[in-house]
Structure 1
């Protein structure tokens, strides 16, 4: 949560003090009245007190207007009775603090001390909060975090002397820091005080602590092992399980083999503060009837011979075990329960019913299924911890080993973060390099062997770990595991049923129970996933059985059917839900599509491609559309589409053809256009697909986007009598006009199209119009309009999962804040974009973010930081690839615009580096001359305009150019429709500087270009850049 408004310790907005006592009083009163707000009369009293103005209501209205100006328009909202804060509670310090305190209290009540402590600390970071202090003290006590300030605890207890939980926490703190004697003395004082004051005794919580204290002088430990190496990356898991054990009597650590369940349980046992701790290893128990005997042996009991009871147990043995555990508050750890889960469940249920102060911790690959059980699902190590574990173990076996971060990151990801697999891989560093390990990882079960000799045999090879779980499955579940391994990215219950039939529910449940399948609900509906290690194990079993081809055919058949269903609704009113489902399956569908292309399976490839390419169009993944040109052409060569696939083919190929038409001249899509020509003769079922097919047909003979036919035909389509054809065509026309240097015409096109849209149109169409308008207004320097359009587009784009379009809209909002001088808001927005970019593919937003941050750093006087950012901009720009003109000669549009914008930023903010600017100027002149060569077949005119602007600005500042040359370049930049997305690209300062030197130069240059547009301007630019280049070399 980001605190924007602070009302304690001085009222401030986004880090800047709010001026004026009355403004501060108003904001403080509104925060106190959240969420309902306050009436006008109450606010007047809070601001002016008895010294009322002549016209109180009018004065209040003026003050509210000033407050909005000093903060933001949305900060104060009107209500029928007065006003209220329009900010979310998480944006206001006092409200966020109260909300965090409530969340901390709720988490503690729910038995989640880790989460409770985190919320409490966050609340206290915002200011004093008594509830949060109490929760933090109790949470830390439950987690065994001792060593606190005793005075703080004493203060809390003094404020609430009858709060037994606080008293118990104080006793445990005293025992940990001053010894059991001090805690027992304090308990006696509490007992005496309760007896004298209330005539009562200590309650259950204090009694439990008292029993722990009495037994702590005689601690009992059995079966607790101390590891030879440190436990890495499990601190959060340790705290979570410890926290659960403070409120739950039975906790089970569940997870697949190799995760380190035993190690975690042993660490908890070794650090437990319970007087008695017993660890019982059950892996060697071969029959259910031996479980109670194993526990009795671990407790150093002699098993008596008695008549057999249920499951063959001696009838009195569970009772004797319970009696043994009754002697002191105990923790009983039962390790590796999965193969005797039923017997363990029976014994634990009995013990919990008989022993008052017993806590039980189990480790298993399957839960016990008892009402008292709280399951802790142990996952793999996080990326950083997994890498640290590998480096630690690898350098231990070969101290001089070269361990590159990138190699290690890839390796531990491929190993699913499984500690055992990572340690086995690290052991192979003794004889292999990390790249060699990566190369052999496809055969990981042969590679990862020969682990620690002190480990159990089932943990000495990776295959043995999975084999242990495999042997616990019945034949049906084993078959299911093998066949389901054919799914590359998980599957739904319905997908499993398509493969396994009626046996699917039971088989899936069995695999989940044994932790061989995980359940992922992060994106809505439950989805079943295998770790890559388990999936490869299943694939080996599947291959041995000779059923791999059959299983993959089943996956492909499911994919084709699912995609036909998606296509029925992808352009309808339910578009968002359809895309949710499609995105969940995208990785699987992409894998199926690749395989279908390779196999030439048209019945699979056509529907899967149509669904995916529809998603790519809607979500702005244009590079993926371009990348599919070749595979589709090869699929269609010498073939026709069967009648049953015509609708799907029409949907996919029309998008391909329209995208091709909007690109520079490229290899013709001969097969695509051939098939589409046949398909256009029959009407399609979906009106949006029909519109796209019409557009594709109109542009089929246009040789690239520079062809004169393109704008003519797009204008006709955007004005088509068929409403849907017109609104689908309008964004394509707008993009063409923008690239042709007419952003104002593009704005007009889209605004006219918006007037023709209807409520039943797919949400994507409306959001796409607003997103493009946001870009266009920003390009024109109309930042308020661009911000408004971006905000209209964002909700739908975010819902669609259009990652790159979302980032572009957020960049527009950041640019608007930067243009308005709101550096804090701009930086916040840019940092948020940077944090989200890992999910995007393009570099455009990344470069824009870095340039924006450089502008902010310069504005704050942080020159070294700004220069470092510009160096990174240069590196990223060299790597950029634009959809519009993929060029290996350094003339890619993103590479050009990056260099131009960097030069403009340096020119404006960093005039003290003339050598750097000079080199950048000369480099850009050379590139500009080649980029404007009339023999080139494609141009991005706004990019050429930005290049002209940057050269004009740098030439003016450093006296490299005469005012007439600067004016000529600036006039060209205007005519090309250059992009003004940064303050350093603002036109007015440069135009003013030219006018100050030569008032007639810019008007004359502008008149000279009258009537020239787009391609007409390129020779003029080339000529002017040539003159500059020759002048510079003379």
Structure 2
């Protein structure tokens, strides 16, 4: 079965007579295979929907099914779906062909103006969108007649005009191409008062340059993808500067960019590749097409003199490629030419600057994600026509290859023999995977290993030594970390003790100049591809690395609880990958060090809302330690027990008892105050007031932050014991205490709890005010998991305020944030909220499904998850009651009551008892 919308609407080549049925079929076909909502269909069919619009829509669907009895149109609660594959709809097939680079085939699918016989309200907007699709087809695969027709309809479309100029130029009709450009330039100036766009100007230059010699500029066999902005920038800079140098690591695409710039140059161009020579002057002389005999004079003349004489009266662009291995000689010769020949310009490529006065540097960085994916698709479809793969998988491959153009091209070439998933899985051994390049490429560009090895061989011993040591870092490092951990003062350095050795700072600067290390603000980073190569030459500095970052974490911890916490959270966040790597190494090699790291980092992880990530680390450390803490590490071991609850498996009650026993041994406040908070969360509300006083007396310190935390804890206990007035007073004092010390996390937590109190009291406006303040504080911290919890609270407040649409949007946002943070408990909370929404709307099937999702997401552990299960049971009881199944409702309420009593949460307990009482009265 085939559906056509690119012209009159057809099904299997037959038109549908009834106008509304024709419009309805078109809307369903445009989204074939997907559900189209009731409101969208009604709004698309009727300018003024009739009374009983839903019934009218159902009637039109029924008539369409009778008219075309073999159509399969499924009904869903949300709308209708045409059961058809994308290839059965001409528009969707057209888009597939466009993505595959088969624009000429896509253009042949058009039978006239899209939706030509549809007059429904949706058609006007749809036609505008489909016209853009037609223009894309024509731009890439249209004939001269197609483009001229389009231009007559859209005379101000510069992309169409540029395509027509290029098409005429390809056909050898340069005069007509120039006339089309001139007409467009005049029209743009008259109608809009603007000059031609860069693309139209570039098409014009392509025609003009046909009369100018371009010596040695290599023709390209593949399309130019992903560097349009670089192309515009470098072309502009060459108009204003006489020396522009493209710098960057090997394989980023410096040569290709230089070639594209050269092809756009309207005047004379000479392309000189220095990679296979050490005689720069002679290579330049050959490149500009000069015969030595023609310049001989009475006396001896050097090659450089001949070169300058040949260029002194010429206006020419020298594109000098691969200067890095002859950098000093290239700088000397080119500097002499620029000084003696005023009409010569130079575009050089190198892995480090030439260092000539007046040089303009244009870094050729890694491709951004969008450009990298486009390059991969383009090259993959060239070797495997019809190639398609999930966008996220391709993006991940490109990211892991650092956006290096050559690496992406080599990986794309492997899709001919390997699935994309297999390529992604093999990237840990990228040099072996990407070992087959073009046989026509220079040897140093045939494999990824050869590209990096070329740069490595050009380094000095000191540079190789530091480059190898730098690989100990994950995600980069600051200057102090580089010099302290990887510097030449390390034992075994080739340069240690040498009075003539360059300083570490000088060597690091040289690695930056040579594109082996990147610098952004005050951080240094090595691309993963270069890092993988250099790591094969590195000594093992991982213990030194782990101990250095332990000291950094310990120094930072007190500042995280003070006014300067943002600065310190940012500093630790910049080194997050290093901290993670340090914990991972220590877990396998030194459990004492691992325990110290987890304890020192607990405050950072908690304040950043990265609890699930911290839990995985802590659980791994516990497994490495065994069931008994090492001597002198009781506090650190207890911290791991308390952090690991979201992911821990096994006997949770045994872990809780062990944590209680370790905490009972403390006779004073712990070294890291956050340990007290985490233990209080684990225990929940105290069984007696004396227990609460005893715990506070032993473990709570007297510093302002801990005092504010104590007030917060007492406020939460008062709230759970159903004393809202005292809870409000204590939480307010706690918020004031956190505000005085400058801790945004503690303040956000207190304010969020005040929001819950206000919501329970029915004051939704006050609750929303508190929530917005808490969210602002947490966004300042970058605390993703906590931010998700606050958005959940806002959803509840909006629902209580009579805004179910706002609540649904908040739950959807919170789900995205929670998934990004890896916070299953917050996800579960979202699904409970969505279950409540569905129940209130009478959609009980969806409500049960949401409760099931929430239950599946509840992790193990002795605090948090059990309270969530209590709320799930409570909601299940309410759903069953709404459906009239009182027996099932009572069973769920009984389960909720058992869990609430076990948590000693009187607020939830009261809510459950109220439900049971209402049930008993029915």
Under a length normalisation based on structure 1, what TM-score does the superposition of the two structures give? 0.59
Match of 2:443 among 450, 457, 463: 457
Q: Is the 8 A contact 1:365 1:513 kept in 2?
A: yes
Match of 1:539 among 524, 535, 539: 535
Work out the CA distance in 1 between the residues paired with 2:874 and 2:230: 58
SS of residue paired to 1:668: helix
Match of 1:267 among 260, 269, 280: 260
Structure 2 equivalent of residue 560 of structure 1? 550
Give 1:265 deviation, angstroms.
1.1
Matches within 5 A, 1:725-764: 725-733=706-714, 746-756=727-737, 759-760=740-741, 762-764=743-745
Structure 2 equivalent of residue 988 of structure 1? none
Deviations 1:746-785 (A, max 9, x none): 5454124235557235443223322443455456653322
Give 1:256 deviation, angstroms.
0.7
Structure 2 equivalent of residue 517 of structure 1? 517
Q: 1:955 to 1:744 in 2, by over 3 A?
A: farther
Deviations 1:339-384 (A, max 9, x none): 1222333344344444455443221111122342222222222334
Give 1:899 deviation, angstroms.
5.2
Matches within 5 A, 1:143-162: 150-154=186-190
* 1:394 and 2:380 are equivalent in the alignment: yes
Deviations 1:246-274 (A, max 9, x none): 433322221111111111111121123x3
* 1:793 and 2:774 are equivalent in the alignment: yes
Work out the CA distance in 2 between the residues paired with 1:307 and 1:598: 77
Q: 1:454 to 1:823 in 2, by over 3 A?
A: farther
Q: Is the 8 A contact 2:764 2:800 kept in 1?
A: yes
Give 1:535 deviation, angstroms.
0.7
C-alpha root-mean-square deviation of aligned residues, in Å?
A: 5.1
Give 1:552 deviation, angstroms.
2.0
Structure 1 equivalent of residue 272 of structure 2? 280
Match of 1:773 among 727, 732, 754: 754
Work out the CA distance in 2 between the residues paired with 1:437 and 1:661: 33
* 1:297 and 2:286 are equivalent in the alignment: yes
Q: 1:351 to 1:789 in 2, by over 3 A?
A: farther
Structure 2 gaps of 5+ residues are: 1-180, 490-502
Deviations 1:384-422 (A, max 9, x none): 433343344334334477745554333222222222122
Structure 2 equivalent of residue 186 of structure 1? none
Q: 1:828 to 1:361 in 2, by over 3 A?
A: farther
Q: 1:293 to 1:766 in 2, by over 3 A?
A: same
SS of residue paired to 2:469: helix
Work out the CA distance in 2 between the residues paired with 1:795 and 1:619: 14
SS of residue paired to 2:269: strand
Q: Is the 8 A contact 2:610 2:821 kept in 1?
A: no
Structure 2 equivalent of residue 257 of structure 1? 250
Give 1:471 deviation, angstroms.
1.1
Work out the CA distance in 2 between the residues paired with 1:638 and 1:652: 9
* 1:806 and 2:787 are equivalent in the alignment: yes
SS of residue paired to 1:375: strand
Q: Is the 8 A contact 2:839 2:847 kept in 1?
A: no
Give 1:822 deviation, angstroms.
8.8
Q: Is the 8 A contact 1:665 1:705 kept in 2?
A: no
SS of residue paired to 1:333: strand
Work out the CA distance in 2 between the residues paired with 1:294 and 1:447: 35
Q: Is the 8 A contact 1:655 1:692 kept in 2?
A: no
Q: 1:710 to 1:513 in 2, by over 3 A?
A: farther
Deviations 1:105-147 (A, max 9, x none): xxxxxxxxxxxxxxxxxxxxxxxxxxxxxxxxxxxxxxxx998
Q: Is the 8 A contact 1:597 1:605 kept in 2?
A: yes
Give 1:618 deviation, angstroms.
1.8
Q: Is the 8 A contact 1:773 1:789 kept in 2?
A: yes
Q: 1:655 to 1:430 in 2, by over 3 A?
A: closer
Q: 1:218 to 1:227 in 2, by over 3 A?
A: closer
Matches within 5 A, 1:376-455: 376-399=362-385, 403-455=389-441
Work out the CA distance in 1 between the residues paired with 2:267 and 2:801: 65
Match of 2:692 among 694, 697, 713: 713
Report the more deviating stretch, 586-595 or 731-740: 731-740
Work out the CA distance in 2 between the residues paired with 1:421 and 1:747: 59
Q: Is the 8 A contact 2:213 2:267 kept in 1?
A: yes
Work out the CA distance in 1 between the residues paired with 2:367 and 2:299: 45
Q: 1:456 to 1:779 in 2, by over 3 A?
A: farther
Give 1:460 deviation, angstroms.
0.7
Give 1:298 deviation, angstroms.
1.3
Q: Is the 8 A contact 2:745 2:777 kept in 1?
A: yes
Q: Is the 8 A contact 1:921 1:951 kept in 2?
A: no
Matches within 5 A, 1:613-692: 613-633=602-622, 634-635=624-625, 638=628, 640-641=630-631, 650=635, 653=638, 657=642, 666-668=653-655, 676=663, 680-681=666-667, 689=672, 691-692=673-674
Structure 2 equivalent of residue 244 of structure 1? 237
Work out the CA distance in 1 between the residues paired with 2:908 and 2:581: 42
Work out the CA distance in 1 between the residues paired with 2:831 and 2:814: 21
Deviations 1:840-893 (A, max 9, x none): 333xxxxxxxxxxxxxxxxxxxxxxxxxxxxxxxxxxxxxx217xxxxxxxxxx
* 1:230 and 2:223 are equivalent in the alignment: yes
Structure 2 equivalent of residue 500 of structure 1? 487
Q: 1:836 to 1:623 in 2, by over 3 A?
A: closer
Deviations 1:512-533 (A, max 9, x none): 1111111123xxxx11111111
Give 1:434 deviation, angstroms.
3.2
Q: 1:1024 to 1:921 in 2, by over 3 A?
A: farther
Work out the CA distance in 2 between the residues paired with 1:240 and 1:396: 28
Work out the CA distance in 2 between the residues paired with 1:424 and 1:175: 33
SS of residue paired to 1:252: strand
Work out the CA distance in 2 between the residues paired with 1:937 and 1:256: 51
Structure 2 equivalent of residue 882 of structure 1? 825
Structure 1 equivalent of residue 308 of structure 2? 319
Q: 1:778 to 1:400 in 2, by over 3 A?
A: same
Q: Is the 8 A contact 1:953 1:966 kept in 2?
A: yes
Q: Is the 8 A contact 2:557 2:604 kept in 1?
A: no
Under a length normalisation based on structure 2, what TM-score does the superposition of the two structures give? 0.65
Give 1:802 deviation, angstroms.
1.4
Structure 1 equivalent of residue 65 of structure 2? none
Deviations 1:537-558 (A, max 9, x none): 011223xxxx3x3x22332232
Q: Is the 8 A contact 2:376 2:394 kept in 1?
A: yes
Structure with larger RCO (C-alpha < 8 A, sep 6+): 2
SS of residue paired to 2:347: strand
Structure 2 equivalent of residue 97 of structure 1? none
Give 1:569 deviation, angstroms.
2.8
Q: Is the 8 A contact 1:949 1:973 kept in 2?
A: no
Q: 1:469 to 1:739 in 2, by over 3 A?
A: farther
SS of residue paired to 1:882: helix
* 1:474 and 2:460 are equivalent in the alignment: yes
Q: 1:572 to 1:931 in 2, by over 3 A?
A: closer
Structure 1 gaps of 5+ residues are: 1-144, 158-165, 181-211, 843-880, 884-893, 912-916, 978-1010
Structure 1 equivalent of residue 582 of structure 2? 592
How many residues of Structure 1 are paired with residues of Structure 2 in the alignment? 714
Q: 1:969 to 1:401 in 2, by over 3 A?
A: closer
Work out the CA distance in 1 between the residues paired with 2:897 and 2:789: 23
Work out the CA distance in 1 between the residues paired with 2:803 and 2:914: 39
SS of residue paired to 1:708: coil
Q: 1:940 to 1:1021 in 2, by over 3 A?
A: farther
Give 1:941 deviation, angstroms.
5.8
Q: 1:174 to 1:481 in 2, by over 3 A?
A: closer
Work out the CA distance in 2 between the residues paired with 1:170 and 1:402: 36
Q: Is the 8 A contact 1:767 1:797 kept in 2?
A: yes
Q: 1:692 to 1:611 in 2, by over 3 A?
A: closer
Q: 1:724 to 1:552 in 2, by over 3 A?
A: closer
